[in-house]
Amino acid sequence: MDKRYTHLSDIQRDAREGTLTIGALIEHYLQNIKAHNPKHNVFLNVFEDEARQSAAEIDQKLQKGTAGRLAGLVFGVKDVLCVTDKELSCGSQILNGFRSQFTSTAVQRLLDEDAILIGTQNCDEFAMGSSCENSSFGPVVNGAGENRVPGGSSGGSAVAVQMDMCHISLGSDTGGSVRQPAAFCGVYGLKPTYSRVSRHGLVAYASSFDIIGVLSNSVEDAALTLEVIAGADEYDATVSTEPVPAYSELPATDKKYRIGYIQEILESNSLEPAIKEASFSLIEKMKAEGHEVTPVSFNYLDYILPTYYILTTAEASSNLSRYDGVRYGYRSGNSKDLESMYKKSRTEGFGEEVLRRILLGTFVLSASYYDAYFTQAQKVRRIIQEKTLQMLEDCDFVLSPTTPTTAFALGENTQDPLQMYLADLYTVQASLAGVPAMSIPRGEDLDGMPIGIQLMTSAFNEVQLLSFSKEVADM
């Protein structure tokens, strides 16, 4: 099978017409994984036998007309999502040898609709990174460039979709970890409203930010996937009980939207010229379609990244305290007593970036600095959220580049953490405010590296976000 499918509807049509079997589709993806994985380091585990068995069962269901809504959807999951009896490492040695005892709700809901899980995908350790270079299993390499990062932390998930190793991927987005790699790899990246999708079975990094998102080659498949995985869950008390709309219908509308673009971002000298050009080109096309596009000002841009990193490192310091070498995972063989076992296990098991964030988080939570940093950051987060929501009352959408640059070279920013953190500059606002956002592919720069444009909208407005993203994709 040489054909590349970008829409699940095409797979299902060909399967109904008898020109495609799900078994052949699985072999196609397995061949691509075998061909590309050694170089690009995307999949940590590939479930060949289970995928083939599931494909045979689904082919039978299709013949009988009893297949689920997602029959033919082959997906991978970022290595922070639990799958029963499968290795879970979060890209870290601290979980060496650990196997999940249950399957995350989002993954199970896809399986229940006859989607097929093909494997787990490499990522920055504990989802902490913007380049997928922090994994203890080595960096992921972007499919669009010989020596380029794929973005992070869901870099493996983005490259898997980019290079046709699976149809869609589930990733996690804490401050842009779905949208930023989607932009770097030229695929769609959807971050839903915080609480829209159950976090049961998602390993925690920063619990008040974490959300499961979707990487895909089409808006339609992102919408259908969200429709299946969203909604109330008895295992997650923080998930929203708001009804789940029919996202997959993508209702067409002649409505002309009010779109704001943040003036300070598009006029910034730090924005790569090709991305600026792509942004203004899209703005002109939107105007030509009759939409009202106006500049808006957001006076809190300088506070977004400091606020985000203070709060997320504080939450990470707390969440990662459970990895102690006692109950599961890595335990140092060089310890002399209980205290040294704790210290050595965590020092040896965690990578440099994770240690940096744990230390920073512990510092901002310490008695002497709690009020000066953590409490103040919580207050600023509330201000940023309120101002963002006010902006979205005046605009249906806020448009911005997804990233300030296209994918940079491997190793380019590893010695400068601050420069690396700047890759999240435009994605973090939606995470602080808890609102949905989507990265849409928008051409390439002169080096052939993909460009992404982000749309952000108000909470639980995914129907409009997905419908308009489809319209934008066709502009």
Q: What is the pLDDT of residues 42-54, one digit of tens each?
A: 999 999 999 999 9
Q: Which residues form the catalytic set?
A: 78, 153, 177
Q: Residue 169 and residue 376: Cα distance in Å, rounded? A: 36
123 within 8 A of 90, measured Cβ to Cβ: yes
Q: What is the side-by-side strand order in the sheet with 168-173?
A: 43-46, 116-121, 74-78, 168-173, 211-216, 188-191, 437-444, 450-456, 397-401, 258-262, 292-296
To the nearest 10 degrees (0 to 180), the angle between helices 48-64 and 8-17 is 60
The helix (run of H) or strand (run of E) holding residue 354 is helix 352-365
Retrieve residue 464's tokens: 């409009």
Residue given tokens 């899209």 in the structure block: 282
Q: Residue 62 and residue 57: Cα distance in Å, rounded? A: 9
Q: Which pLDDT score, from 0 to 100, does residue 421 have?
A: 82
Q: Residue 168 and residue 115: Cα distance in Å, rounded? A: 10
Q: Are strands 74-78 and 116-121 parallel, antiparallel or unpaired?
A: parallel
Q: Which pLDDT score, from 0 to 100, does residue 146 have?
A: 85
Q: What is the pLDDT of residues 68-127, one digit of tens each?
A: 999 999 999 999 999 999 999 999 999 999 999 999 999 999 999 999 999 999 999 999
Phi/psi at 279 (nearest 5 deg)? -65, -50
pLDDT below 70 — which residues of the chain? Answer: none
Amino acid letter, 380: V
Q: Residue 185 and residue 170: Cα distance in Å, rounded? A: 15
pTM for the predicted model, two decimal places: 0.96
